[in-house]
Amino acid sequence: MNGARGVSRRFGIHGADPSTGLPGARQVPVRPQDIGGFDAGVGIQTPGLAVPGTPERSWHAARAAWRLLPCLAGAAMGRNGPRILLIGGTYRAVCVLERLLERGERVVAFIGVEGGGERDFCPEILELCDRAGIPARSGHKLGEEVVRWLEDRIRPELAIALGVHTEIPLSIGGNCRLGLVELGDSSGASQPAVFLRQRGQELVRRELPPPPEGGDPGDAYLSMLEQLCGCLEEFLERHAQPRAERSFAIPFESATAGGENVAALAAHAQAGSATRALEARVAEYLGAERVFALHGARAGFRALTRAFGLCKGDEVLVPGVASAAALEALRAAELAPVFVDIHPERLTLAPSALGPAIGPRTRALLAAHPLGQPAELDALYAIAEERGLEVIEDGCDSLGARFGDSRLGRSPCAAVFRLPLAHAPGFELGLVAAPESLAVELGSQLEAERASDGLASLGLAALERWEDRLAARRRSASAYSAEFSRYDAFRVPPTPENALSVYSGYLLRLTRFARAGAEDLAKLLAESGIETRRLRLPLADRELASLPAAEHARATGILLPVHESLTDSQRERVMDEIFGYAIG
């Protein structure tokens, strides 16, 4: 994102009144000669920067603020510092939070408390917390409700207060392993300084140089903020522990070893007899008339759009939860995805939502089977036939899943699957199942994309063990559901009578009765040695805005390990830890 407009919108560059630290609002012009690449005539928002003098002098303060707030995208993550609770109410809280995130510190919560003026805390910090996934609360006083929230859900190890004029309950610091520290300054003293204090004792102190005569007060204020952040960094460095590469006691996926098997990929680089054998074996397994084994799934989706005669600008109905490969192929073909919300439980395309989304340019729909859960194919195909739409099935997560009395991919359906290769980490096969009516068109398009004999030989080995892997996943999923379904704090994946999932992911949903949110629970489990994942959707936030069911699934869901190497004792430990954190 280039230009000052982008910087201002993304990072919330704001100034503050040096006397109060409270934000106001006005524009400071940007001079293109000061920072290369900025758009001429674009202003940076600098609310409340009460700096006397010319606009040029105010610009220098704004530029200093810009340097103070570095890019979050380049932040180094993964430090092993304490779990931090930040309590603040002024603009300086924004700067300190930005610096903590830049360092990769584990900020687990923010509480906004007024700083002594009439207005509450600096509102820009809420936007920053939202972007970073940090739970935030505001209030005029720190009451028992907030204290219980911290004790039950957040469990911070260090509390940092700055610019707070209300009394902070002793229990907040008392429940933190490293206690409560206060960041402050004595700018009005004969020798101005910034300090970090704990229980009345200064642990870190930095003297501030006297401001130059006729100097800009805004520059002096921002320099003070820089030193304040430096005090905090010095304190945190004392308590940081070097972190080794994280190794989970219970990984999300089973460990895979490449070994000598990967050498087969280079030794047999062309499609041949093993490729044809794999295609025939998969066709028999699925009940498909033809199968094409490819180097990846994206090429399969792209070929199906051509085979169905979809042209640039044609609309395709896409569910809110779909594979990245399918979406990338549609966009590469310059088709127009029209996003439709999902069934709130199954996460599949909701047939009831299709009608309003079908327009004059709609030519096809993408029936995705997310996390191995089959979509409601009977209803979707009925609508497609009635409205003259083509159907492409996104089975990237669902090889082996059943709908009715057959597996997904049975002809005359056209579907794309993925087959991960357990003995070749990072490698997978794309499989296109299609009826004979599409085979000639697909064959000519996909000849250059067909998998090599090396990959195909590994695919044959993986397919031999595939049903055993699915059975292990289903056992783990069944055990999870039997326990979690007993509590109102959780929602488990549905088990429709006419469908059999392969559970490529087990999405546990947290309700309002849970003591921890999904993001917090994932972090707490990671600290306990249990690796989980969050539901990732290849959609922009603006696209998700009109898909409340998909957005809710992403916000409340956590994916648990269900791989075939998961032992009963490991699964029991996962459940015990979740019960401890989420329901107490």
378-404: pLDDT as tens digits: 999 999 999 999 999 999 999 999 999
- Conformational region of residue 568, where left means phi above 0, alpha means psi within -120 to 50, and beta covers everything else: alpha
pLDDT confidence of residue 236: 86
**Structural domains of the chain, with CATH:** 1-244 (3.40.50.170), 259-464 (3.40.640.10), 468-582 (3.90.1150.10)
Question: What letter would DSSP give residue 342?
Answer: B
Q: Round to whole Å and give the CA distance between 515 and 433.
A: 45
Angstrom distance (rounded) from CA 320 to CA 329 = 16
What's the whole-number mean pLDDT along residues 117-128? 62
Per-residue confidence at 269, pLDDT binned at 50, 70, 90? low
Quick one: pLDDT at residue 56?
Answer: 37
Which whole number is the average pLDDT over 8-24?
33
pLDDT band at 251 (very low <50, low <70, confident <90, very high): very high
Average of pLDDT values for 247-272? 68
Express each pLDDT in 135-166 by its tens digit: 887 655 556 777 777 777 778 888 888 877 66
pLDDT for the residue numbered 187: 67
The predicted-structure confidence for 315-353, as pLDDT tens digits, reads as follows: 999 999 999 999 999 999 999 999 999 999 999 999 999
Tell me the mean pLDDT in the region 543-566: 91
Q: What percent of the chain has pLDDT over 90?
A: 44
Kindly report which listed range (59-63, 258-262, 467-471) carries the lowest average pLDDT score.
59-63
> CA of 220: how far to CAs of 16, 21, 52, in Å?
12, 13, 13
pLDDT digits (tens, 9 = 90+) for 176-234: 888 888 888 886 666 788 888 888 888 888 888 877 777 777 788 888 888 888 888 88
Q: Is the predicted pLDDT of residue 93 greater than 70, yes or no?
A: yes
The pLDDT assigned to 245 comes to 55
> Among candidates 138, 150, 95, 94, which has minimal Cα distance to 113?
138
* In 23-54, alpha helices (H): none
- pLDDT value for 32: 30
Taking CB atoms within 8 Å and a gap of at least 24, the contacts of 340-345 are 340/547, 341/546, 341/547, 341/548, 341/549, 341/550, 342/547, 342/549, 342/550, 342/553, 343/376, 343/549, 344/549, 344/552, 344/553, 345/491, 345/493, 345/494
CA separation, residue 432 to residues 78, 161, 449, 470, 564 (Å): 39, 58, 11, 20, 25
Burial 285-298 (b: 16+ CB within 10 A, else e): bbebbbbbbbbbbb
Per DSSP, the chain holds a count of helices (H) and strands (E) of 20, 22
Strand partners, 111: 87, 137
- The per-residue pLDDT of the chain, averaged, comes to 79
Q: Which two tokens stand for residue 312?
A: 């640039």
If one compares 530 and 175, the residue with the highest pLDDT of the two is: 530
What does the pLDDT average to over 461-483?
95
pLDDT of residue 136: 80
Q: What is the pLDDT of residue 144?
A: 72
- In Å, the largest CA–CA distance within the chain is 88
The pLDDT, as a whole number, for residue 171 is 67
Q: Is the predicted pLDDT of residue 575 greater than 50, yes or no?
A: yes
Tokens of 467: 């049903």
Tell me the mean pLDDT in the region 70-98.
Answer: 67
Contacts of 177 (CB under 8 A, 6+ apart): 82, 157, 158
The pLDDT score that the predictor gives to residue 2 is: 36
Q: In the chain, what percentage of residues exceed pLDDT 70? A: 77
What pLDDT does 423 receive?
A: 56
The per-residue pLDDT for 230 is 87
pLDDT at residue 246 in the model: 63
546 or 167, higher pLDDT: 546
